[in-house]
A and B are shown apart, each in its own frame.
Chain A
Amino acid sequence: MDLRLTPEMEAFRAEVRGFLEAHRDHYAQGAGADRPREAALAWQRLLIDHGYAARTIPKAYGGYGAEPDILKTRIISEEFNRAGAPRGFANQGISMLVPTLLEVGSEEQKTRWIGPTLRGEVVWCQGYSEPGAGSDLASLQTKAVEDGDDFLIQGSKIWTSTAAQADMIFCLVRTEPDAPKHDGISYLLFSMKTPGIEVRPLKTMTGSAEFNEVFFTDVRVPKSAVVGGRGRGWFVANATLKHERGMLGDPNATEARLGQLIELMKTETIDGRRLIDDPVFCDRLMALQSRVLAMKFNGLRTLTSALRGEAPGMAGLVVKLQGCELNHQIAALAIDALGELGVLYEDGPHLRAKGSWQWNYMFDLGLIIGGGTAQIQKNIISERGLGMPREPKLAKA
């Protein structure tokens, strides 16, 4: 155990701080989604030029081309959080498609798609889940039938987050209907402007449509759109899912959320008494703080494994399950501590934090289910982590 940073890393931290200080006027007026699109694209280009986004993507494909250095990545993340500066884009194209193309894409696919994706010029959505294929993703039924040099696609996808804004989709389809289910899938890239695609917003319990349904009717896609080989889509997608799970349950985001809850409980009063002065709520808050700290230090432990190129083992397998549950519980305590005020939503003079605690409470429940349900996570923990047997397959009737 030695949590000190080397002088080289301290120097790197100073460099990141210097950059953020020098460019404060680029982001001082507000972060994230509120930014005008052109300014966001310019900021993204600036970040790539300095190695604060697309850091380890080769220069030839439009990245910064640095050696992978997990500690530097973490320092960048810490300093951007500290300054309140918007990070580089972290959409599904960048976090899932780009690593997949780097791993299994053809040279033509890499050259064509990675650069524009990194710069935010091409926005992607993910076409994996279907109404009948959720946890059992490999049973997906969207069909791609050969027609000359093309495939003709029929079927539908669900939980497609950015389908309405997306230029392109990376999509799993069944190309070999007679092959065993894991061997009949291909991973395709195609334009969302292709005739025959219909996007319908999927409104959730939060009241907004964070997801969409996507319907395909005779959608014509060239066979050259396959990534990683025909019938290999399941294995290509598994490489990407690994990247998605790593994003859910980030302990730094959870710690920030707990900080907001502590602030809320210190400033809000009920009958003139601070919420935190209620011993029951204070106890619940401290119990959550225990969990947040445990996951934070667990994160430092998995980071150390990653720095050494070792598998994080059990410490890594529990992150999605525990992190998502913890976020949900933090929102739940905020709602409870606010009492009747905790139910207010959308708008009104008594509303707190724009209703975000209720929004998070509902949205985070979706994250407990999405990206591999809690029950699937427990299967993974018991099978891969503890070496327990898989559920025996039912004999075909």
Chain B
Amino acid sequence: MDFSITSDQKLMQDSLSRTLADASPLDRVRAYAGDVSDQGADVWAALRDFGLPGVLIPEQFGGLGLKLLDAALAAEAMGRAVAPVPFLGACALAPLALMRAGSADQQTEWLPAMASGEVQGAVAISEPIAGARDGAGVMASGGRLTGKALFVEGGLTAGLIVAADKTGGLHLVRGAAKGLGRSAMTSIDQTRRLAELTFDNVEAEPLAGGPGALDALRDAGWTLLAADALGAGDVMLEKAVAYAQERKQFGRVIGSFQAVKHMCAEMAAELEPCRALVWYAAYAFDEAPDEASLTAAHAKAHTSEVGRFVARTATEVHGGMGITDLLGLHFWFKRIGLDRQLLGGPERVRAIAARIQGLAA
């Protein structure tokens, strides 16, 4: 019985954090956030050198062949660094779609290119999971897709799109396909860009896997978003504690006032158990499939709630400085804000959690 991450996993996570600290310090994040033409190519190149795009892809296709728990530890590092890269789609969900639902030919064609980071994949799966808004949704017929998909992380530039249709079937669409339209959806979080994709009778290849594959993408997506929020929340708490030990008022550091200490203690008390929940959800994805969907739902819903609490409380501990652009704390605040809403907010995810265990119709 061992409920912990291995020293290799810890080493990998620390090494990734150092890579991100070098390649993407806050000034670099700020530059990316302020310039939509900035593709973050240098940050992506550093992650390619690290091998991260292939974290989940089997070694036979040039990847690292690791598990979702390893990807979750990487996602936590992404959240810590507010990294300006489309990690979720390109390094995790698009490869997983091909691994779980692709034919041998499809895997051979795409997995090596995704593992090397040469091709960035993106997944358009929001509608069947988080619900269809503004008439979005994709219809598949005769090898063609028609309709639109919203909230596609990394969708503006992806070389390959995995799109879910209204029945939950998955399809591959090449980035250069005729009739594929892309436009930016500006969100609070400028470290990860979202796209609206339009499909006008676009050529597509079906992926063989059915609704089971979409469920797996949902579970992995929920877990990785939770891990991202956990990493971002950890940083906000650390920054709040550091600030409270430095800032003086009434002749004392504010961290010696119980009113401030207790805010920090409450953040820690809420955040620390999320770590075990995220680890377990990620572990279950590969090792305890019967529990994977339920624990992923709880990891997503709960870490979203805790994330919101930590984001506002850590900002408050910083006083007026907390809300300034200069300090940059808002990058983490907004990162947590997007993690919460993407692929369904807590209420929607909890309703699905009740259905998963047969408690609701």
List the interface of chain A (C-beta within 8 A of B): 1-5, 9, 71, 262, 266, 276-277, 279, 282-283, 285-287, 289-291, 293-295, 297-298, 300-301, 303-305, 307, 314-315, 318, 321-322, 375, 377-379, 381-383, 385-392
Instruction: Give the contacts of B252-279 with A (CB-CB under 8 A).
Output: 252-253, 255-258, 261-262, 264-266, 268-269, 272-277, 279
CA distance A391 to B257 in the complex (A): 6
| Choice from B244, B253, B273 contacting A298 with Cβ under 8 Å | B273
| 25 A–B contacts from the bound complex (CB under 8 Å) | A3-B1, A3-B2, A3-B287, A4-B1, A276-B359, A282-B351, A282-B360, A287-B305, A289-B353, A290-B350, A297-B280, A315-B273, A322-B273, A375-B258, A375-B262, A377-B269, A378-B262, A379-B262, A381-B269, A382-B268, A383-B261, A388-B244, A388-B245, A389-B253, A391-B256
Q: A1-B279, A388-B241 are in contact. Are A266 and B261 (CB under 8 A)?
A: no
Q: Is B17 part of the contact surface with A, judged by Cβ < 8 Å? A: no
B276 touches A298 (CB 8 A): yes
A382 touches B261 (CB 8 A): yes
CA distance A276 to B350 in the complex (A): 13
Q: Is B283 part of the contact surface with A, judged by Cβ < 8 Å? A: yes
A287 touches B350 (CB 8 A): yes
Number of A-B contacts (CB under 8 A): 164
A381 touches B265 (CB 8 A): yes
Taking CB atoms, residues of chain B closer than 8 Å to A303 are 1, 3
Top 8 A-B residue pairs of the complex, sorted by shortest distance between their CB atoms: A290-B302, A297-B276, A286-B350, A378-B265, A294-B273, A300-B3, A381-B265, A382-B261
A388 touches B3 (CB 8 A): no
Q: How far is the CB of B232 from chain A (nearest CB, A)?
A: 18
Q: How far is the CB of B341 from chain A (nearest CB, A)?
A: 17
Q: A287-B305, A297-B279, A315-B275 are in contact. List 20 more A-B contacts (CB 8 A).
A: A1-B69, A5-B1, A262-B359, A276-B360, A282-B350, A282-B360, A283-B347, A286-B298, A286-B301, A286-B350, A289-B298, A290-B353, A294-B277, A297-B277, A315-B272, A318-B272, A382-B255, A386-B241, A386-B265, A386-B268
Q: How far is the CB of B4 from chain A (nearest CB, A)?
A: 5
CA distance A262 to B5 in the complex (A): 32
CA distance A33 to B116 in the complex (A): 65
Q: Is B354 part of the contact surface with A, judged by Cβ < 8 Å? A: yes
Q: Is B295 part of the contact surface with A, judged by Cβ < 8 Å? A: yes
Q: How far is the CB of A82 from chain B (nearest CB, A)?
A: 17
Q: A303-B1, A381-B268 are in contact. Are A290 and B301 (CB under 8 A)?
A: yes
B301 touches A304 (CB 8 A): no
List the interface of chain B (C-beta within 8 A of A): 1-6, 69, 241, 244-245, 252-253, 255-258, 261-262, 264-266, 268-269, 272-277, 279-280, 283, 287-288, 295, 298, 301-302, 305, 346-347, 350-351, 353-354, 359-361
CA distance A293 to B303 in the complex (A): 12
CA distance A321 to B4 in the complex (A): 23
Majority secondary structure, B binding face: helix
Q: How far is the CB of A317 from chain B (nearest CB, A)?
A: 8
A282 touches B253 (CB 8 A): no
CA distance A385 to B274 in the complex (A): 16
B302 touches A1 (CB 8 A): no
Residue among B2, B245, B273, B353 with max Cβ neighbours from chain A (10 Å)? B273
B256 touches A286 (CB 8 A): no
| Choice from A293, A305, A391 contacting B258 with Cβ under 8 Å | A391
B273 touches A277 (CB 8 A): no
Q: How far is the CB of A261 from chain B (nearest CB, A)?
A: 11
Taking CB atoms, residues of chain A closer than 8 Å to B265 are 377-379, 381-382, 385-386
B3 touches A390 (CB 8 A): no
| Choice from B5, B266, B280, B351 contacting A378 with Cβ under 8 Å | B266
Residue among A276, A289, A307, A392 with max Cβ neighbours from chain B (10 Å)? A289
Taking CB atoms, residues of chain B closer than 8 Å to A315 are 272-273, 275-276
Taking CB atoms, residues of chain B closer than 8 Å to A378 are 258, 261-262, 265-266, 269
Taking CB atoms, residues of chain B closer than 8 Å to A389 are 245, 253, 255-256
CA distance A279 to B351 in the complex (A): 8
A294 touches B2 (CB 8 A): no
| Choice from B5, B252, B253, B274 contacting A294 with Cβ under 8 Å | B274
CA distance A383 to B272 in the complex (A): 16
B252 touches A392 (CB 8 A): yes
Residue among B4, B6, B255, B361 with max Cβ neighbours from chain A (10 Å)? B4
CA distance A71 to B2 in the complex (A): 10
Q: A304-B2, A388-B261 are in contact. Are A294 and B269 (CB under 8 A)?
A: no
CA distance A262 to B359 in the complex (A): 9
Taking CB atoms, residues of chain A closer than 8 Å to B5 are 1
Taking CB atoms, residues of chain A closer than 8 Å to B351 are 279, 282-283, 286
CA distance A305 to B258 in the complex (A): 30
CA distance A304 to B283 in the complex (A): 16
Taking CB atoms, residues of chain B closer than 8 Å to A266 are 359
Q: How far is the CB of B174 from chain A (nearest CB, A)?
A: 37
A3 touches B283 (CB 8 A): yes
Residue of B with least CB distance to A74: B1
CA distance A283 to B212 in the complex (A): 25
| Choice from A3, A297, A386 contacting B273 with Cβ under 8 Å | A297
B277 touches A304 (CB 8 A): no
Q: How far is the CB of B271 from chain A (nearest CB, A)?
A: 9
Q: How far is the CB of A342 from chain B (nearest CB, A)?
A: 20
Q: How far is the CB of A170 from chain B (nearest CB, A)?
A: 31
CA distance A290 to B299 in the complex (A): 7
Taking CB atoms, residues of chain A closer than 8 Å to B283 are 1, 3
B276 touches A301 (CB 8 A): yes
A318 touches B353 (CB 8 A): no
Taking CB atoms, residues of chain B closer than 8 Å to A388 are 241, 244-245, 255-256, 261, 264
CA distance A392 to B3 in the complex (A): 39
Residue of B with least CB distance to A297: B276
